[in-house]
């Protein structure tokens, strides 16, 4: 058990840009994280286990499908509320925010946006309530940054599809009841299929030995002649743009989430620097430590304004994929740099699980890689501003 003294920095009064509903949602999530996540998260990260007892509470705060309409069990909130929720949950732990990103943006969103009414009614309420956990299979052993090259494929067998292939690095796969899987048909066109646990030939081996996202479970998806019912194909969108559309929503949530991790590192380091005395003065009184802290709050403030504006554009359905890439890249990089500096401010104490900083730092090494690496997002911005594709 550890006490949670977190105080959120708001150097530019960004709260004044938020509505009453945004603040209510943000504070309710913040309180829940203090009560339920902080006291247990170090223990679960140390033993590399997902705290399953959090699933019900995550559903209750509305973190599974925050922007999915209430008719399907979602919370029916706007994009800024969704972002603030991710910020608060990642303030607790990136792995727990991962679970919410996957459930909301990578499983519920494609079923809602690309599925038919029967699929929405069958799956969304169970996912919103946390009764079912979902996962999203895009990455393959030989196709990470380049998912368009995927080899997982299915054949039309008349009364069902026959699915073969494998996905790796799949968050939540070992505990998921369903997987939204991206695979090519006989013409090489990418489609989404809902694969359910228990289908013959479908297995989800766990990935061990991670130094990062230890409170989030990761695994593979293996399809060995899996018979998928035809009604499990998502009918309303195909092509690589379909999974990439889901990523836009998840990357947007990560841009907010990273601010939460950065805030927690900054707040912890600031408190520690004011209390820790060396050479007869608190270390906060030394210029070198002030430089670190002043740069941290500057970067957090810039990131807060970036995401608030992006959220406003997203609410108006005007945010572009490239704008989302810029925010994901900037904010995760910012959080990772802050975690590294904050850890140094704590000296030796910074490497222990008594403080959250080292856990955030290790988590952020995954966050900077998944949902498009730091370099891939730079190339997306480069292509957007120059018109030249430097990926290939
Ligand atoms: P490209 O030819 O550029 O595009 C193919 C089609 O897709 C469209 N498109 C998008 N649509 C929606 N949203 C986006 N962000 C889109 N980006 C591109 C594009 O218009 C085109 O449509 P059409 O109709 O013309 O066919 O594709 P490319 O093969 O050159 O690749 C582009 C690239 C490299 C940017 C893309 O492949 C990419 O983003 N790669 C990164 C892969 C990635 O992010 N993987 C994430 C896996 S999931 C994950 O990490 C979950 S972590 C979960 C957690 O725990 O939180
Ligand atoms: P690679 O694509 O092999 O990249 C290696 C390096 O090469 C990177 O630095 C990259 O930036 C660079 N590179 C690649 N292409 C270029 C280029 N054209 N120009 C310049 N540099 C380039 N995937 C899912 O589908 N679902 C999930 O739920 C999921 N969860 C994950 C959870 C964790 C903990 C992790 C670590 C990953 C997860 N992923 C998931 C996979 C993740 O999206 C991929 O790891 C990521 O997209 C990068 O792919 P890769 O690891 O194969 O790296």
pLDDT at 124: 98
Please give all residues whose beta carbon lies within 6 A of any atom in ligand 2, as ranges.
102, 135-139, 144-145, 169-171, 213, 218, 366, 369-371, 373, 375-376, 391
Question: Tokens 């690589």 sit at which residue?
Answer: 240
Which pair of tokens denotes residue 199? Answer: 């289908």
- Please give the distance of CA 271 from its chain centroid, rounded to a whole number: 28
Measure the CA–CA gap between 232 and 180, rounded to whole angstroms: 10
User: Diameter of the chain by CA atoms?
Assistant: 80
Using the mean position of ligand 1's atoms as its centre, give its distance from the Cα of residue 201 in Å.
28
In sequence order, the 6+-apart residues with CB closer than 8 A to the CB of 277 are 283
pLDDT at 2: 58
- Residue 145 Cα: closest atom of ligand 2: 2
Q: Whose C-alpha lies nearest to ligand 1, atom 46?
A: 371
Catalytic residue among 88, 140, 220, 371: 371
Strands (DSSP E) found in the chain: 134-137, 153-156, 160-171, 178-184, 190-196, 202-203, 218-229, 277-278, 281-282
Q: How many CA atoms lie within 13 A of 279 on its CB side?
A: 4
Residue 330: how many CB atoms within 10 A of its CB?
Answer: 20
- For residue 94, give the ligand nearest its CA: 1
Which pair of tokens denotes residue 51? Answer: 């705290």
Kindly give the interhelix angle for 241-275 and 321-345, rounded to the nearest 10 degrees. Answer: 30
Measure the CA–CA gap between 41 and 20, rounded to whole angstroms: 30
**Contact present, 300 and 260 (Cβ < 8 Å):** no
pLDDT at 179: 99
- Residue 216 Cα: closest atom of ligand 2: 34
- Residue 138 Cα: closest atom of ligand 2: 25
Measure the CA–CA gap between 206 and 198, rounded to whole angstroms: 16
Q: Whose C-alpha lies nearest to ligand 2, atom 42?
A: 370
Output the CA–CA distances (angstroms, integers) from residue 177 to 50, 99, 100, 131, 358, in the order listed: 16, 14, 15, 9, 32
Using the mean position of ligand 1's atoms as its centre, give its distance from the Cα of residue 293 in Å.
36
Return the HEC string of 319-352.
Answer: CCHHHHHHHHHHHHHHHHHHHHHHHHHCHHHHHC
Using the mean position of ligand 2's atoms as its centre, give its distance from the Cα of residue 370 in Å.
6
- Taking Cα atoms as reference points, which of 61, 78, 140, 66 lies closest to residue 108? 66
Looking at 205-281, list the stretches that DSSP marks H as alpha helix, in order from N- to C-terminal side: 241-275
Domains defined for the chain, CATH in brackets:
14-128 (1.10.540.10), 134-232 (2.40.110.10), 241-386 (1.20.140.10)
Torsion of the alpha carbons at 137, 141, 144 and 150, rounded to the nearest 10: -70
pLDDT at 3: 81
Measure the CA–CA gap between 217 and 55, rounded to whole angstroms: 13
218-229 vs 277-278, strand pairing mode? unpaired
pLDDT at 1: 46
- For residue 149, give the ligand nearest its CA: 1
| pLDDT tens, residue order, the chain (392 aa) | 458 999 999 999 999 999 999 999 999 999 999 999 999 999 999 999 999 999 999 999 999 999 999 999 999 999 999 999 999 999 999 999 999 999 999 999 999 999 999 999 999 999 999 999 999 999 999 999 999 999 999 999 999 999 999 999 999 999 999 999 999 999 999 999 999 999 999 999 999 999 999 999 999 999 999 999 999 999 999 999 999 999 999 999 999 999 999 999 999 999 999 999 999 999 999 999 999 999 999 999 999 999 999 999 999 999 999 999 999 999 999 999 999 999 999 999 999 999 999 999 999 999 999 999 999 999 999 999 999 999 99
Which neighbouring-strand residues pair with 183? 191
347-349-350 Cα angle (round to 5): 70
218-229 vs 190-196, strand pairing mode? unpaired
């Amino acid at each position: 058990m550890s006490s949670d003294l977190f105080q959120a920095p708001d150097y530019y009064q960004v709260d004044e840009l938020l509505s009453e509903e945004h603040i209510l949602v943000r504070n309710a999530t913040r309180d829940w994280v203090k009560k339920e996540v902080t006291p247990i998260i170090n223990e679960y990260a140390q033993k590399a286990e997902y705290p399953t007892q959090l699933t019900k509470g995550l559903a209750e705060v509305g973190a599974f499908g925050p922007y999915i309409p209430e008719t399907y069990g979602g919370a029916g909130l706007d994009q800024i509320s969704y972002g603030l929720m991710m910020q608060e949950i990642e303030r607790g732990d990136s792995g727990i925010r991962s679970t919410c990103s996957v459930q909301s943006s990578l499983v519920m969103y494609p079923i809602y946006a690309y599925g038919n009414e029967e699929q929405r009614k069958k799956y969304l309420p169970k996912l919103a309530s946390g009764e079912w956990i979902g996962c999203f299979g895009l990455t393959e052993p030989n196709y990470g940054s380049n998912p368009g090259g995927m080899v997982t494929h299915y054949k039309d067998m008349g009364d069902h599809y026959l699915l073969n292939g494998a996905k790796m690095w799949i968050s939540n796969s070992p505990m998921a009841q369903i997987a939204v899987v991206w695979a090519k048909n006989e013409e090489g066109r990418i489609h989404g299929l809902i694969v359910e646990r228990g289908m013959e030939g479908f297995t989800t081996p766990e990935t061990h030995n991670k130094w990062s996202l230890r409170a989030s479970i990761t695994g593979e998806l293996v399809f060995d002649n899996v018979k998928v019912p035809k009604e499990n194909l998502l009918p309303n969108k195909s092509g690589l743009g379909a999974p990439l559309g889901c990523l836009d929503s998840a990357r947007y949530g990560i841009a907010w989430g990273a601010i939460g991790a950065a805030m927690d590192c900054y707040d912890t380091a600031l408190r520690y620097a004011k209390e820790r005395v060396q050479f007869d003065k608190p270390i906060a009184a030394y210029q070198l430590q002030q430089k670190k802290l002043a740069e941290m709050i500057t970067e957090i403030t810039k990131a807060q304004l970036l995401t608030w504006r992006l959220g406003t554009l997203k609410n108006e359905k005007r945010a572009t994929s490239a704008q989302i890439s810029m925010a994901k890249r900037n904010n995760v990089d910012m959080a990772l740099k802050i975690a590294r500096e904050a850890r140094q401010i704590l000296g030796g104490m910074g490497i222990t699980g008594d403080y959250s900083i080292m856990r955030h730092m290790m988590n952020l090494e995954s966050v900077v890689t998944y949902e498009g690496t730091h370099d891939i997002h730079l190339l997306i911005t480069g292509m957007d501003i120059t018109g030249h594709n430097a990926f290939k």
